[in-house]
Structure 1
Amino acid sequence: MSDEQRSVRTDPAEKPEPAQPESSETSPAYLYRHAGIRERDGSIPVWLMLVVIGLLIWSVYYTVRYWSAS
Structure 2
Amino acid sequence: MTDPTRTPNTTANNSSPADTEEMEEYAGGTIQSRHGYIPMWLLVVYAVLFIWALYYLVVYWGGLGPGRV
* TM-score, normalised via structure 2 length: 0.55
Question: Could you tell me how far 1:42 is from its partner in structure 2?
Answer: 0.9
- 1:27 alignment partner, one of 15, 21, 41: 21
Structure 1: give runs of 5+ residues left out of the alignment: 1-18
1:65 equivalent in structure 2: 59
Q: Indicate yes or no: 2:48 matched with 1:54.
A: yes
Name which of structure 1's ranges 30-39 and 50-59 shifts more when overlaid on structure 2: 30-39
41, 45, 56: which one aligns with 2:39: 45
- Corresponding pairs, count: 48
Identity rate of aligned residues, in percent?
Answer: 38
**Larger % of helix: which?**
2
Find runs of 4+ consecutive structure 1 residues off by over 6 angstroms: none
TM-score (norm 1): 0.54
